[in-house]
Amino acid sequence: MMTGSEYIESLRNYKPLVYFMGKEIESVADSPIFRPHIHAAAMTYELAHDPRYEDLMTAISHLTGEKINRFTHIHQSVEDLVKKVRMMRLLGQKTGTCFQRCVGFDALNAVYITTYDIDKKYSTDYHERFKKYLRFVQKNDLMCVGAMTDVKGDRSFRPHQQSDPDLYVHIVKEKEDGIIVRGAKAHMTGAVNSHEVLVMPTRAMGAEDKAYAVSFAVPIDAEGLVNIFVRQTNDLRRLDGDIDCGNAKYGIVGGETLMVFKDVFVPWERVFMCGEYEFAEQLVEVFATFHRQNYGGCKVGVADVLIGATANIADYNGVAKASHIVDKITEMIHMAETCWCCSLACSYEGYKTPSGAYMPSPLLANVTKLNVTRFPYEWSRLAQDIAGGLVITTPSEKDYRNSKIGDLIEKYLKGIANIPTEHRIRMFRLIENMSVGAQLPESMHGAGSPQAQKIMIWRRGNIEMKRELAKIIAGIKEDEHFRRIVGKTEKEYFKEVKG
């Protein structure tokens, strides 16, 4: 297993094509714009060597029997699922931001489960190919970026109906030694500082979409792969100094990219789905279940930091003992722990799949994520409420360090007498970073927007069983009376109406 410093050094062995602000980046590992994201990801490596966290951060590979970083593990029990979300909360507490590695982690598990099922139906060898790839990832302790979300173009059209066929990643050509793929993936968290890209389809597919039902892996510096690093709120502050960043060491969110595949070649041994369109929906749902499980862990770990920052600023402002402040911070804790309960519940309700790997409860994983599309907005609102207007009107660090005006800021931004003004400014900036910037849209759209969770909750909510329970309690017996009046059973009637 790599250490954090070894991980950072390993990035120098790759030469991905990356652009930011119109310029090509020569070295990801040495660029100050990427440094906070790299430090956050490095924490997933560093904690694996800390004896205090070894049980959460490492596992034993079911393929080799060797000790591995948990982020390369295939869940073998409910206990593994629980340790995963405990690990997520820990890392959120340690970084106060997205540590990026969970997307690839979830992709590894989703592809493992789905390739087994494809092979069972078609007698293909995708699962064996993937296990060989997984051994490579585990042995080298690689960070994978899970690439699912296509750019999608006109959302009213299916992939094959798009005016531009490249708006979903698709197979352009099958060759004797592999396939050629073209298209683009959006919102690729941690892409520039990953080693590998694990691609999955983004939605259910029909027979006409066969070319778009593809899963494969390529190195981040594969020929023809282009990453365009995206803008985020206050992203250039990291170039200006320490204080104004708010979270200078670990950054904003996940360092996303627009990832473009310009006729990228993939050898057959790295192809894990090639036209089996009826399994695209399964792969999407399995991945989404794993990824939505996470959010009550990582987002709650981050919330722990924000709650602490809010309590600190209340101290610095001299209002910590006010009953309404205590009430609001208590409400923040309540919402965060509610999300935590959901992550634990969907993990403890996990089950073994035919592949032997375990996955969380799909229903409860979607409940977890739906809560996370709502509660972070409210606990962020409360943090802003308690902090006050200076959370968005604090002068810059350069002004604070200026010899002519710095003493004015020192004097007039003072809170309680025994707390340095700089401490108060730093806490304002941290709260701004966590409650005003890019963290909130990521809570909304990461792992799918709210409607995606509602669709899955409706599908998995067993509404027919609930209808029957209500009829039994209400004393409604078999619907002979309904049949006499309407001419068919109640179930037949409502099925026809819905149709």
Instruction: Say how far apart CA 410 and CA 401 lie, in whole Å.
Output: 10
Instruction: Say how far apart CA 375 and CA 332 lie, in whole Å.
Output: 9
Tokens of 159: 């992939």
Q: Is 490 a catalytic residue?
A: no
Return left, alpha or beta for 145; rule: phi > 0 is left, psi -120 to 50 is alpha, else beta. Answer: beta
Q: Is 291 a catalytic residue?
A: yes
- The catalytically annotated residue of 245, 291, 310, 339 is 291
Q: Is 295 a catalytic residue?
A: yes
- The catalytically annotated residue of 144, 298, 342, 346 is 298
Tokens of 335: 């919402």
Q: Is 14 a catalytic residue?
A: no
Instruction: Say how far apart CA 10 and CA 14 lie, in whole Å.
Output: 8
Helix (H) or strand (E) holding 260: strand 257-267
Q: Is 168 a catalytic residue?
A: no
Cα–Cα nearest to 441, from 380, 363, 362, 392 = 380
Q: What are phi and psi of 398, to 5 degrees?
A: -65, -40
- The catalytically annotated residue of 37, 75, 98, 358 is 98
- The catalytically annotated residue of 37, 72, 95, 102 is 102
- The catalytically annotated residue of 46, 196, 256, 276 is 256
Q: Is 442 a catalytic residue?
A: yes
Q: Is 102 a catalytic residue?
A: yes
Q: Is 24 a catalytic residue?
A: no
Q: Report in angstroms the alpha-carbon separations of 284 from 148, 292, 464.
A: 8, 12, 25
DSSP for 396-423, please give it: PHHHHH-TTTHHHHHHHT--STTS-HHH
Cα–Cα nearest to 201, from 277, 270, 257, 262 = 277
- Residues carrying an active site annotation: 98, 102, 189, 256, 291, 295, 298, 442
